[in-house]
Structure 1
Amino acid sequence: MNIIYTVKERFLNYVKIDTQSDHHSKTVPSTLKQTHLSKILVEELLAIGITDAHLDQFGYVYATILSNSHKNVPVICFCSHVDTSPDCSGANVKPIVHHHYTGEDLILPDDSSIVLKMTEHPDLAQQIGNDIITASGNTLLGADNKAGIAEIMDAATFLMSHPEVKHGEIKILFTPDEEIGRGVNYVDIKKLGADFGYTIDGETLGSYEDETFSADGMTITIYGISAHPGFAKGKMQSAIKIASHIINSLPKNRISPESTEKMEGFVHPVSIEGQVEQATIEFIIRDFDDENLFTHEEELRNITLQILEQYPGAYAEFTVTEQYRNMKKVIAQYPEVSQYALMAIERAGIEPKKQSIRGGTDGSRLSFMGLPCPNIFAGEHAFHGKQEWVSVQDMEAAVRTIVNLALIWEENSI
């Protein structure tokens, strides 16, 4: 399969467009600037002959590559998100291509304290001779998830320009606000019309992920007793101090992000705010097993209630919000979804690496919305920070994998 790749050029253009989402915003999408890239993607899709490409009022890009097969092929969807993380600036990204990487430290020119070392990024050991792309040191790169976008766009360009390559109907979906947990809030599943999907948003070359954390959010609102500090003895119960006491009492050697790995879950405070009379702590709670998730939540409640026994008159309210669930429950019902993905990776000349995600993707929620949707590598590394990087060759491998998937679904249909 002779692909003339455009993924590198597309990626270098896309990362220069600031698409950072904002979890404080109440608008949809959360930032208008995300649509600046989305509009460009629609124009490029129309230019390669995808006539129904459009941007809807919620910031989603939908497009269809029509089937050129006489077979009854299930409709598959490829999905990536346009937004970048609020954790690090995505404005004025200056991508740098480090050609023919030889294993040296990569010192980023706009901030020489930002250095990519193989000892800290062991996946760089697999990139000798490849072309590494980083930002310049002041921003993140945006490979999460503009690598996935560029790869889907390149694969779509190949399929549209090679009608001899047989495939079924293919849907393309680009979402906003994935980084703030709202990526599929307004997806129209009926309009999308796909049977199975794949997010292109994974890390290491060859990785395939069909299992994620299950996730809840918990808010603890603490109600204290306010009094004038000059006359507070025996009266004041500071909600701020109670909140601090709760956080300080969390287990430090287990169920925390700092002390867990692999299949271990955690409880993690992500924000705290308040005054003497009232304070709020926001937690995220994660585990691969739903029963363990509920156990973590109960332990957090018990810690809080035990602490409140020391503060007569103060009390707390607990609010738990379901965020997403382990996609494996859904994907396991359709073994061909995983089988074909692993075949596509192998056909691209790569050893598949089946693994679990210590996090979630749009695919987690899409799976429970009726679109089984595992995750395939995009090649992004060290995301959400200034050391983010991707290699051109890994992105090209992802393009081949996407094209192979389209072919394999057609080949195995009747």
Structure 2
Amino acid sequence: MKSNVIEYFMDLVRIDSESSCEKDMAVKLSADLKDLGIETIIDNANQNFTSNSGNLYGFLPGKIDKPPILFCAHMDTVTPGKGIKPIIKGNKIVSDGTTILGADDKSGIAEIMYALKELKEEGQDIAPVEVLFTVSEETGLQGAKYCDYSLIKSKLGYALDSHKIGSLTIGAPAQNNLKFTIHGKEAHAGVNPEDGVNAIKIAAEAIKDMPSGRIDQETTCNIGTIKGGNATNIVPNEVVIKAEVRSHNHAKLKEICDQMINVMNVKVALHKKNDFQASVDVVCEQAYKNFKLAENSPVVQIAKKAAKNLKLSDYVTIGGGGSDANIFNEKNISTAIAGSGMNEVHTVKEWILVDDLKQGVAWVKEIILEYSRN
């Protein structure tokens, strides 16, 4: 490992690891963990989805007799994430502007790794620590969903996958994904259009009347993609619409999904030509469940106390996105999402402060020490 977390972080972002291609990252991190005396296992989660690696699990035995504490970050990045060239500009690290930076989530990885490195070098007596570096988080939390949970003994943990150092996200919504496949009828657009049933027109009528955007403070809905049609001279016979609904309230989640499905069914039923009736296939699947941690829960209080010890500005918030923490909480591992300093993620303008990487290491260390001493 490099002599400081800044150089180490920059080494990590230079390793290509877009979703489904995390193997090189897993190999690098496994070797680094072993150098720290940490046992590692790469599980077989990727047998359930497309990736060239499973999740990387590591266990550091502690000298204090307590259950282990879990730290997690994901190894994959969004696109464009190949050939990243990190550049230091003053106190800021950026890419060259042609790719993302990869601070989401390699800042979290670097901070966890360097916290463990420094604790080992300092000879600190700590409780056991588990680390989990997941794959394919950006494509539906796949690594976390199919993780080998028989490995994990922790009952509380932190997913380093957010913004401000010292911040904790203690709640996140559930998400359902919807797919509508509308079946119309092809016809020549210039010769006999009256014989066709235009699937794009049906889609437009349905989308117009569907809920969309922010529904209320707990609920959002987005119609994200629409694909259909083959040529301008053919009445399109198929359209596929993909959408999502998120809510912190399960009843509202179901209500909005039901509304969208009902609107679609009503609009489709209106389109009939002679003996042909338009139809639609609907798939509604749960992507992940919501979670909400109590502010007085140990996982929250330990991290807040650690931040206070370091004089960091600490605050808790409720998030609007999903992360591996949704899955861990579903598996009864009380997990908060901790800030690792990333900014403007999923864009080529992504950046992180040098000072935040250093503070992130200090915060992870202090969380481990605070957990160990209490």
Note whether the superposition's TM-score is higher than 0.5: yes
Distance 1:231 1:193, change over 3 A: same
Match of 2:49 in 1: none
SS of corresponding position for 1:136: coil
**In percent, how many aligned pairs have the same letter?**
27
Contact 1:5 1:154 in 2 (8 A): no
Match of 1:316 in 2: 280
Contact 1:74 1:196 in 2 (8 A): no
Match of 1:120 in 2: none
SS of corresponding position for 2:368: helix
- Distance in 1 (CA, whole Å) between partners of 2:31 and 2:310 is 29
Give the residue type in structure 1 aligned to 2:127. Answer: G
- Distance in 1 (CA, whole Å) between partners of 2:143 and 2:57 is 14
Find out whether 1:223 has 2:216 as its counterpart: no
Q: 1:5 Cα deviation (Å)?
A: 7.5
Q: 1:293 Cα deviation (Å)?
A: 1.0
- Distance in 1 (CA, whole Å) between partners of 2:154 and 2:176 is 27
Contact 1:197 1:374 in 2 (8 A): yes
Distance 1:406 1:5, change over 3 A: farther
Match of 1:125 in 2: none
Match of 1:46 in 2: 34
Per mean C-alpha deviation after superposition, the further-off stretch among 233-242 and 288-297 is 233-242
- Distance in 2 (CA, whole Å) between partners of 1:314 and 1:346 is 62
SS of corresponding position for 1:183: helix
Aligned residue among 357, 368, 372 for 2:330: 368
Aligned pairs for 1:283-294 within 5 A: 283-294=243-254
Give the residue type in structure 1 aligned to 2:11. Answer: N
Give the residue type in structure 1 aligned to 2:85. Answer: K
Aligned residue among 81, 89, 95 for 1:98: 89
- Distance in 1 (CA, whole Å) between partners of 2:347 and 2:158 is 25
Contact 1:327 1:365 in 2 (8 A): no
SS of corresponding position for 1:229: coil
Aligned pairs for 1:166-185 within 5 A: 166-181=125-140, 182-185=142-145
- Distance in 2 (CA, whole Å) between partners of 1:383 and 1:63 is 27
Contact 2:85 2:95 in 1 (8 A): yes
Per mean C-alpha deviation after superposition, the further-off stretch among 208-217 and 239-248 is 239-248
- Distance in 2 (CA, whole Å) between partners of 1:202 and 1:345 is 15
Aligned pairs for 1:50-65 within 5 A: 50=38, 52-57=39-44, 58=46, 59-65=54-60
Question: Per-residue CA shift, 1:346-405, capped at 9, x if unaligned?
Answer: 222212120011101101011102222110000001000011011111121121111111
Give the residue type in structure 1 aligned to 2:18. Answer: Q
Extract structure 1 runs of 4+ deviating beyond 6 A. Answer: none
- Distance in 2 (CA, whole Å) between partners of 1:234 and 1:398 is 64
- Across the aligned residues of Structure 1 and Structure 2, the Cα RMSD in angstroms comes to 2.0
Aligned residue among 309, 314, 321 for 1:352: 314
Give the residue type in structure 2 aligned to 1:82. Answer: M
SS of corresponding position for 1:242: helix
Q: 1:264 Cα deviation (Å)?
A: 4.2
SS of corresponding position for 2:313: coil
- Distance in 2 (CA, whole Å) between partners of 1:79 and 1:49 is 18
- Distance in 1 (CA, whole Å) between partners of 2:175 and 2:118 is 37
- Distance in 2 (CA, whole Å) between partners of 1:308 and 1:211 is 37
Give the residue type in structure 2 aligned to 1:211. Answer: G
Contact 1:141 1:389 in 2 (8 A): yes
Per mean C-alpha deviation after superposition, the further-off stretch among 306-315 and 393-402 is 306-315
- Distance in 2 (CA, whole Å) between partners of 1:348 and 1:337 is 17
- Distance in 2 (CA, whole Å) between partners of 1:308 and 1:393 is 56
Aligned residue among 345, 348, 357 for 1:383: 345
Aligned residue among 2, 11, 14 for 1:13: 11
Q: 1:286 Cα deviation (Å)?
A: 0.8
Distance 1:316 1:334, change over 3 A: farther
Report how many aligned residue pairs link the two structures. 354
Give the residue type in structure 1 aligned to 2:290. Answer: N
Aligned residue among 255, 265, 273 for 2:219: 265
Match of 2:238 in 1: 278
- Distance in 2 (CA, whole Å) between partners of 1:333 and 1:265 is 22
Aligned pairs for 1:104-123 within 5 A: none
Aligned residue among 244, 264, 286 for 2:204: 244
Contact 2:210 2:259 in 1 (8 A): no
Contact 1:76 1:196 in 2 (8 A): yes
Give the residue type in structure 2 aligned to 1:293. Answer: L
- Distance in 1 (CA, whole Å) between partners of 2:336 and 2:35 is 29
Match of 1:405 in 2: 367
Question: Per-residue CA shift, 1:6-60, capped at 9, x if unaligned?
Answer: 2211111111111111xxxxxxxx22xx11011111111111222x123334421
SS of corresponding position for 2:143: coil
Give the residue type in structure 1 aligned to 2:365. Answer: V
- Distance in 2 (CA, whole Å) between partners of 1:260 and 1:147 is 33
Q: Which runs of 5+ in 2 are unaligned?
A: 47-53, 230-235
- Distance in 1 (CA, whole Å) between partners of 2:349 and 2:72 is 25
Contact 1:53 1:63 in 2 (8 A): yes
SS of corresponding position for 1:192: coil
Contact 1:74 1:409 in 2 (8 A): no
Distance 1:349 1:68, change over 3 A: same
SS of corresponding position for 1:191: coil
Q: Which runs of 5+ in 1 are unaligned?
A: 22-29, 100-130
- Taking structure 2 as the reference length, the TM-score comes to 0.89
SS of corresponding position for 1:189: coil
Give the residue type in structure 2 aligned to 1:67. Answer: G
